[in-house]
Amino acid sequence: MTDIIHDIADLSLAPLGTKRIDWARAHMPIMRSLIERLEKEKPFTDLTISICLHVEAKTGVWLEALTKGGAKVAITGSPSSTQDEVAAALVKDYGVHVFARRDETFEDHLRFCENVLAFSPHIIADNGADLHELIFNHPEFKELQNKLIGATEETTTGANRLREDFKSDQWPTLIINDTMSKRIIENRFGVGSSVVDGIMRATNVMLHGKKVVVIGYGYCGSGTAQRLRGMGAHVTVVESNSLTKLEAHMEGFYTSTLEEALPDADLVITITGRDNVLRKEHFELMRDKTIIANAGHFQREINLPELKAMSEHTDKIRPHVTTYKIEGANKELFILSDANLVNLSAGDGNPIEIMDLGLALQTLSLEQIALDAKSLQKKPQPVPFDIEMNVADLACEYWINH
């Protein structure tokens, strides 16, 4: 595939990636039905779609749908979440321009975002608004402000950035995470399950009886708290929003402040989508051998530079566990996956069937933009209700009625 521009770890890994994608596809009946239809109708003919989303097996099935639907696709992922064998298969089997490596740094990630935008897309599918930020703030991509016909944004973090940080009223952006099906099914059940799975894979420690602090009680946080409680953990929720804090209380969780909860915690999980949730003053409160994980969007939810400055020694003691020996204190803290998303960096991300629903929302949203972007308002907005209900109907058909 010499004509396919890419920056991946090893193209020879493609056969392994093909097997992973085949396994995912076998458990994604909604996407299989969409692939069959899109291959016939070709709604993305002559369109380039640039994507920022985790490069893993379920994403591979989604990209199969887009490419068979006629799209030219370029994709980048996120630090520590890329499955290198899947990246190779996407280049070799589907002709996708892939810029993603398992070992990429955040600086690499930003460069890869620039790479996918260099294809001058008609549509972008974003994850955390990183592509949007480049288009709004970097002169070299300014022309895309007039070329783009629309976009999707996967996350609440990205939606917050689009609504709070940018003037994003030049094209319609469909916010996948504004849908109730995404929030309830994928975030509560999918993320909740995969975070617990990632932590257990990373650490091999028992969760039963552990004192766990979950910071953030949105849909992802509530799902994570519920799955941890189901494992026998004693869960305390820290939440700044009074209504959401009341919800956690009414659902039977302890609620507290960081200052009160951290000194007694065995495991601390951030899941807010905000920066610097855990800082120097919080690390100082934690007791010896506290495990710290991030399940929010950005690595910077946990201020690793401040933790490193406090430490006299660091050491990676397991593939996804780094110990920080605090200077002048008889304690060490354990950071999982270098504060990257623990469910994707230490595990395989959300269960396949869950992502079948979520990626169907993405697919139909992109099709709506490709065929009739003019019917949408030029601003961040929820996915049209008929698309959400279409996907929910398909999920019921395949998950319940079969």
The answer to whether 296 is a known ligand-binding residue is yes
Handedness of CA 112, 18, 204, 229 (dihedral sign): positive
Sheet holding 291-294, edge to edge: 254-256, 234-238, 211-215, 267-270, 291-294, 332-336, 321-326, 311-318
How would DSSP label each residue in 310-332?
Answer: HEEEEEEEETTEEEEEETTSS-E
The answer to whether 204 is a known ligand-binding residue is no
Q: Are 40 and 111 in contact (CB under 8 A)?
A: no
The answer to whether 343 is a known ligand-binding residue is yes
Place of tokens 């934690």: 286
The answer to whether 54 is a known ligand-binding residue is no
DSSP 334: E
The CA distance from 397 to 151, in Å, is 28
The answer to whether 218 is a known ligand-binding residue is yes
The answer to whether 67 is a known ligand-binding residue is no
In terms of Cβ atoms closer than 10 Å to its own Cβ (0-12, 13-18, 19+), residue 3 is exposed
Q: Are 324 and 294 in contact (CB under 8 A)?
A: no
The answer to whether 216 is a known ligand-binding residue is no
DSSP 341: B
The CA distance from 313 to 303, in Å, is 17
Q: Are 154 and 51 in contact (CB under 8 A)?
A: no
By C-alpha distance, which of 373, 306, 364, 370 is closest to 335?
A: 306
The answer to whether 222 is a known ligand-binding residue is yes
DSSP H helical ranges for 3-129: 14-26, 29-41, 57-68, 84-94, 106-117
The answer to whether 295 is a known ligand-binding residue is yes
CB atoms within 10 A of CB 251: 13
**Amino acid in the structure at residue 28:** M
Q: What would the two tokens of residue 316 be?
A: 């990676």
Task: Give Cβ neighbours of residue 2 (< 8 Å, ≥ 6 apart).
Answer: none
Task: Give Cβ neighbours of residue 218 (< 8 Å, ≥ 6 apart).
Answer: 156, 187, 244, 271, 272, 273
Q: What would the two tokens of residue 355 be?
A: 């992502």
Q: Are 269 and 247 in contact (CB under 8 A)?
A: no
Q: What would the two tokens of residue 318 be?
A: 């397991």
The answer to whether 155 is a known ligand-binding residue is yes
Helix H or strand E segment including 391: helix 385-396
Q: Which residue ranges make up the annotated binding site? A: 155-157, 218-223, 239, 295-297, 343
Q: Which residue ranges make up the annotated binding site for NAD(+)? A: 155-157, 218-223, 239, 295-297, 343
